[in-house]
Amino acid sequence: MKILVFGDIVSKIGREAVLRVLPGLRSAHNIDLVIANAENLAGGKGVTPETLHEMLGNGVDFFTSGNHVWDKKEVFDVFSDARLADKLIRPANYPVGIPGAGSKLLTVGSKNVLVINLLGRVFSRVLSDDPFRIFDETLAAHAHAKPSVVLVDFHGDATSEKTAFGWHAAGRASAVWGTHSHVPTRDDRVLPGGTAYITDIGMSGYRNGVIGVQREAIIKNFMTQLPVRHEIPDSGEAVVNAIVVTTGADGATAIQHLEHIVEI
């Protein structure tokens, strides 16, 4: 199986850049499943039904997210719509009873594919549960389905926490990728036991800013410590960061990081 994964897609420019390169990537790599992180889809923070429909209608199959998934109230419309809720998960280690699911079992061809979303706790303002233990519990809960592929989006700040989780999941997950920092770490490798791993895929969005945001305001914020409005251009030079994971009978056999520059 070949899985194409996009990290955080940031705002309109990121969406358009991904959709510009997606058909070629899907064809060139013979992709079976396309997954993207959706927490920054709408204006850089949050997700809406419209932005999900746009991406679903143009080749993305499924979405993970992170702490910013709640930043627009329209996400509750997403989770109350059975068709859209079936395509988006939120971190599994949020408190019990909140909208959405933290994992999803997909059928891709003849294979059962389990996708899990987790939120890191180091440097996070969210009082989430232990992602390591929640991963173990989620695997156990889906054991009856005997998923042949297990995919994990670990959304977090700390590279140490992500790396530790990669080793925790080694041999049990087919792939673990990091999101949230928007900067590609380029440490892609296959861990012992057949787990494809990268600490952070990197974002798809405005390239000449600061993690997707227009740079002038961010520089001002660092120099003055005063709050600033995050502005994200709709056009300009965009970067697309993604990975292609190849799996076989005994787990992942390869992981490749991809980077494309697109003028929007």
Give the mean pLDDT of 34-56: 97
Burial class of residue 248 in the structure, from the number of CB atoms within 10 Å of its CB (0-12 exposed, 13-18 middle, 19+ buried): exposed
State residue 76's pLDDT score: 96
Predicted confidence (pLDDT) per residue in 59-79, tens digit: 999 999 999 999 999 999 999
Give yes or no for residue 89 having a pLDDT over 90: yes
Give the mean pLDDT of 52-57: 97
Give the mean pLDDT of 88-105: 97
Predicted confidence (pLDDT) per residue in 112-145, tens digit: 999 999 999 999 988 899 999 999 999 999 999 9
The maximal CA–CA distance of the chain, rounded, in angstroms, is 56
3-state SS record for 130-189: CHHHHHHHHHHHCHHHCCCEEEEEEECCCHHHHHHHHHHHECCECEEEEECCCCCCCCCE
State residue 116's pLDDT score: 98
Strands 103-108 and 175-179: unpaired
The pTM (predicted TM-score) of the whole model is 0.97
State residue 206's pLDDT score: 98
Predicted confidence (pLDDT) per residue in 191-236, tens digit: 999 999 999 999 999 999 999 999 999 999 999 999 999 999 999 9
Q: Which amino acid is at 160?
A: S
Distance CA 159, CA 176 (A): 13
If you write DSSP's letter for every residue of 15-44 in order, what string do you get? HHHHHHHHHHHHHHTT-SEEEEE-TTTTTT
State residue 127's pLDDT score: 86
Q: Which residues are catalytic?
A: 68
State residue 9's pLDDT score: 98
Distance CA 48, CA 50 (A): 5
- Domain locations in the chain? 2-263
State residue 40's pLDDT score: 98
Phi and psi at 263, nearest 5°, equal: -95, 120
Instruction: Identify whether the C-beta of residue 217 lies closer than 8 Å to the C-beta of residue 29.
Output: no
State residue 97's pLDDT score: 92
State residue 22's pLDDT score: 98
The three-class DSSP label of residue 72 is coil
Give the CATH architecture of domain 2-263: 4-Layer Sandwich (3.60)
The CA angle 162-145-247, to the nearest 5 degrees, is 50
State residue 17's pLDDT score: 98
pLDDT band with cut points at 50, 70 and 90 for residue 10: very high
Predicted confidence (pLDDT) per residue in 151-172, tens digit: 999 999 999 999 999 999 999 9
Give yes or no for residue 247 having a pLDDT over 90: yes
Instruction: Identify whether the C-beta of residue 126 lies closer than 8 Å to the C-beta of residue 86.
Output: no
Name the average pLDDT for the chain: 97
